[in-house]
Structure 1
Amino acid sequence: MARPSLSRRRVLAGIGGLAAGAAGTTGAAGCAAPQAVGAGKTRLRYWHLFGGGDGINMQVMLDAFRAQHPRIAVEAATFQWGAPYYTKLGMAGAGGRAPEVAVLHLARLAGFAPGRLLDPFDLDLLARHGVRPADFPEGIWRRGGAGGEQYAIPLDTHPMVLFYNTELCAKAGLLGPGTTLRPIEGAEQFTAALRAVKQVTGQPALVTETLGSDCIGPWRLFSTLYSQLGGAVLSPDAKSIALDDSKALTALEYMRMIVEEGLAVRRVDYVGAVGVFNNAKTGFYLNGEWEISSFLTTGLPFSMTRVPNLFGRPTAQADCHAFVLPHQDGRGGKTNEAAHAFVAWMLKNTVEWAKGGHVPAYLPTLKDPEYLALTPQSAYRSVVEDVALDEPAWFAGSASVMWIELGAVFSGVLTGSRTPRNALTEAKARLRTLLETPNPFGAAV
């Protein structure tokens, strides 16, 4: 297949991301109307992109914060997921007229000009509100830093997980006590589990997104399997390609095998994949944990677990929502104090946030009895230590141009239009183009 040209318009679209899906929100256009700030109150403007199921959870948290902090006037604005949000946030930071606090995907931090578009957090101030670096997984916390400063405080991680139909898996003999899937270790055991479910249903046992406009599911599946092999896509400084041919081909050949053997649905878009699993057509579904809301409302007999360790490491592709401080001229004083108090409070109250499927990054929450009682949300919590984030490149991260470009390439492996070797060659070509392309987001602001 010929490689399409990587125009500036296409790159800018990738910077903003997709309209929905990759971070578990559908996005709502526009923003909330500003609230009047009463005398003696501190104004706190908060921008985010949670317009779907997790937007409901965020609203519950905001209402609780306001009730407990009557002297802080929170003005929350919800922007359309993707380009409208990131473009507006970047422009606001560049002009020094930004909100006091905002949400950013952690893997996109490198392309958001820390120190220019973002201000660093005051870690001493956060500590006075009871939040410290040791309260987070080391790897996730480290990704929020740049130049010796901390520019992002992780709120959660949203990894690829394995949904499973408990009734079909029970018939296939795959469940242990209750509705818990028996441990699966290695590609052979996972393949055997898929075959067992197919014997029950007579249909493919697994569904995941394989095609569609701006399809990123194939990239996320490849990233999960490739990371389990210990592979890296880019060098640590994100300036050169680090794809390991042998490891990449192992992952791609496994992806091809499961569709060719009829163990996975070959051609299905994002919405279609949700419907296939929701209609009990397959025993397994691979996607981000945010789709939990799609199945809780329909009464489907399902549960969730970590993606099995197929190739030696228990990692899963993921990104993280994080709090950032968009650049303000003269940031400080009561508004900055309020921003730090807000972030700390939100982290300490992430049980509500976890109801939408995301795994809290604040480690004390993972031990909270109220969180542990959430089923099946708490079942895959240990993945927080094993997430595989993109290397820190401007073109990487949730719904980025890299995801779109490589998603299109690896889609061909699942649908049958590309061989694994052809896909690997094409992936390298597109990565080289991205590496040679100046950061258009920076140029735009």
Structure 2
Amino acid sequence: MPNHPSPPGALSRRTLLTGTAAAAGLGLTGCGSLAVSLSDKTVVKQWNLLAGADGAIMTDLHTRFEDEYPDVDLQATTLGWGTPFYTRVVMGASGGNGADVATAHVSRIKSLAPDTLLDPFDLKEVEDAGLDPDAFPAEIWEKCFVDGDLYAIPLDTHALVNYYNREICEQIGVLDADRTLLETQGRDAYFEILREAKAITGQYGTSLDTFGGWRQFWAWYRQADGEMSFGDGDYEMDDDKALQAIETMYMMAEEGLCPTFADGAQCAANFENGAAGFVQVGNWEITRFRAFNEAQGLDFSMAEMPDFFGNRRTQGDSHSFILPHHNQWDPEVRKATIEYVAFMLHNSFDWGAGAGHTPAYLPVTESPEYQALEPNAEYSGVVDNVQLDPDVWFSGSGARLFDESGSVFQQVYSLALNPEEALALLKERIQDLVSLPNPVD
């Protein structure tokens, strides 16, 4: 899992904006912050955190953009996922000479101090570029606004989903006529399927990333309508619903329905080598499983998370485009930057088809071409069920809450902590985070 910084000290926004401005300008030169074009083209500097298979797909889209916009010199830079990326974005924006556009998670927008370190989009310029503001999932679109200003435009939704081995599922008898997974209602019903899958594999029913337990916890907690809110140095959480989610983890591990220890790589490998009939991981793993299928054969498909507590909500996030703060925008650069964002959304079919992420722009997701994609269309409804992490600076993709809670849930899966002990420790860890100052506040 990505590393994150030690607890931040008391760093004022004024210190950040002045004391690091020079360092940002110099230290990021190699990242394209001072990049210039050797021709008369308009330079657009793009930063992203996509180094995997989805990064290759984004690179292909960038090539297509440059072919369609020959007067634009798109200079894209990939930075380290998580903390390294967001630190660079903050430093570049503090000096006003970082990227023109960056790819960021919607869950991290507020932690980037949008009123200071980001520039808002103007709805008119978005519409002029051919994007319809009404053509996005409402819940994700609303998260892109802060104090009435639009600070992000979502590219996709990506979420915890349920992969299944069709051959094993056929033996269990849980596929319908078109070989898609039958829906179940309730935790007990799904556990029974996992028991049958375990009997066939001889090892597990499902594979999970036991180091990434926050994703499972948040999915099951939100399925039960659990809320988590923060303010005034304190927070509110429904202990009964949190305990229910943790008990689900413990019960699954105790019965041997999932591994007691599996990092991300082992989690996926368990599914590939037939040690598990199911695996609950992010939709981005589709590229790995497709490659394995081509090389060695793996008849798999994907569905939304199963209904444990009354619905199919799941933990997820959204890659989006943000505008790091500029001391002064060049009108031509600004125009080309917005055209780039619009191009990426209009052409996000390939992003979804290849990377597994579900395009956020509804004209793409709802198109007949996308709805004919397999297995993408089977889990396309996830856009209505994605639950972003709690709204607080230490939450979201690549943030502290994921790591701190993950170390607790890892001990649940390993059966080192019972659910009651884990809940008490989780609350202690969250309170510790609440007591820390926001480093950019």
Partner of 2:166: 166
Partner of 1:17: none
2:246 to 228, 234, 252: 252
Q: Specify the SS of the correspondent of 1:241.
A: strand
Aligned counterparts of 2:366 and 2:263: Cα–Cα separation in 1: 37
Amino acid of the structure 2 residue aligned with 1:298: F
Partner of 2:292: 298
Aligned counterparts of 1:42 and 1:202: Cα–Cα separation in 2: 59
Amino acid of the structure 2 residue aligned with 1:315: R
- Which stretches in structure 2 are left out of the alignment for 5+ residues? 10-29
1:220 to 183, 190, 215: 215
Q: Specify the SS of the correspondent of 1:251.
A: helix
**2:280 matches 1:286:** yes
Partner of 1:102: 102
Q: Is the 8 A contact 1:227 1:313 kept in 2?
A: no
**2:261 matches 1:267:** yes
Q: Structure 1 residues 98, 35: closer, same or farther in 2, change over 3 A?
A: closer
Amino acid of the structure 2 residue aligned with 1:262: G
Aligned counterparts of 2:88 and 2:202: Cα–Cα separation in 1: 49
Tell me by how many angstroms 1:338 deviates. 1.0
Aligned counterparts of 1:32 and 1:285: Cα–Cα separation in 2: 39
Q: Is the 8 A contact 2:233 2:435 kept in 1?
A: no
Q: Equivalent residues in 2 for 1:28-177 (5 A)?
A: 36-39=37-40, 41-177=41-177
Tell me by how many angstroms 1:198 deviates. 1.8
Partner of 1:338: 336
Q: Specify the SS of the correspondent of 1:343.
A: helix
Aligned counterparts of 1:250 and 1:167: Cα–Cα separation in 2: 32
Aligned counterparts of 2:179 and 2:193: Cα–Cα separation in 1: 15
Q: Is the 8 A contact 1:241 1:428 kept in 2?
A: no
Aligned counterparts of 2:246 and 2:226: Cα–Cα separation in 1: 13
Tell me by how many angstroms 1:176 deviates. 1.1
Aligned counterparts of 1:77 and 1:37: Cα–Cα separation in 2: 18
1:10 to 3, 6, 12: 6
Tell me by how many angstroms 1:432 deviates. 1.0
- TM-score, structure 1 as length reference: 0.89
Partner of 1:401: 400
Amino acid of the structure 2 residue aligned with 1:434: L
Amino acid of the structure 1 residue aligned with 2:349: V
Aligned counterparts of 2:163 and 2:341: Cα–Cα separation in 1: 31
Deviations 1:266-299 (CA, angstroms, capped at 9, x unpaired) = 2222211111111111101011111111110111
Partner of 1:231: 226
Partner of 2:412: 413
Tell me by how many angstroms 1:330 deviates. 1.3
Q: Is the 8 A contact 2:155 2:320 kept in 1?
A: yes
Tell me by how many angstroms 1:147 deviates. 1.4
Q: Is the 8 A contact 2:360 2:383 kept in 1?
A: yes
1:322 to 316, 320, 323: 320
Aligned counterparts of 1:35 and 1:301: Cα–Cα separation in 2: 48
Mean Cα deviation higher: 226-235 or 53-62: 226-235
Amino acid of the structure 2 residue aligned with 1:234: S
Q: Is the 8 A contact 2:261 2:414 kept in 1?
A: yes
Q: Specify the SS of the correspondent of 1:11.
A: coil
Deviations 1:342-392 (CA, angstroms, capped at 9, x unpaired) = 111111110111021111111111122332232112211111011111122
Tell me by how many angstroms 1:433 deviates. 1.1
Aligned counterparts of 1:9 and 1:153: Cα–Cα separation in 2: 27
Q: Is the 8 A contact 2:44 2:75 kept in 1?
A: yes
Deviations 1:384-410 (CA, angstroms, capped at 9, x unpaired) = 011111122110000211000001111
Q: Specify the SS of the correspondent of 1:121.
A: coil
Q: Is the 8 A contact 1:238 1:392 kept in 2?
A: no
Tell me by how many angstroms 1:434 deviates. 0.9
Mean Cα deviation higher: 321-330 or 80-89: 80-89
Identity fraction in percent:
38
**2:360 matches 1:361:** yes
Tell me by how many angstroms 1:252 deviates. 1.1
Q: Structure 1 residues 344, 233: closer, same or farther in 2, change over 3 A?
A: same
Tell me by how many angstroms 1:314 deviates. 1.9
Amino acid of the structure 2 residue aligned with 1:143: K
- TM-score, structure 2 as length reference: 0.90
Deviations 1:29-50 (CA, angstroms, capped at 9, x unpaired) = x8589573422x2211111111
Q: Specify the SS of the correspondent of 1:390.
A: coil
Aligned counterparts of 2:138 and 2:419: Cα–Cα separation in 1: 34
Aligned counterparts of 2:123 and 2:88: Cα–Cα separation in 1: 27
Mean Cα deviation higher: 182-191 or 47-56: 182-191
- Which stretches in structure 1 are left out of the alignment for 5+ residues? 1-7, 14-29
Q: Is the 8 A contact 2:409 2:422 kept in 1?
A: yes
Aligned counterparts of 2:324 and 2:290: Cα–Cα separation in 1: 36
Q: Structure 1 residues 337, 32: closer, same or farther in 2, change over 3 A?
A: closer
Aligned length: 412
Q: Structure 1 residues 32, 52: closer, same or farther in 2, change over 3 A?
A: farther
Amino acid of the structure 2 residue aligned with 1:266: T
Aligned counterparts of 2:180 and 2:8: Cα–Cα separation in 1: 44
Amino acid of the structure 2 residue aligned with 1:11: P
Q: Specify the SS of the correspondent of 1:352.
A: helix
Q: Is the 8 A contact 2:194 2:257 kept in 1?
A: yes
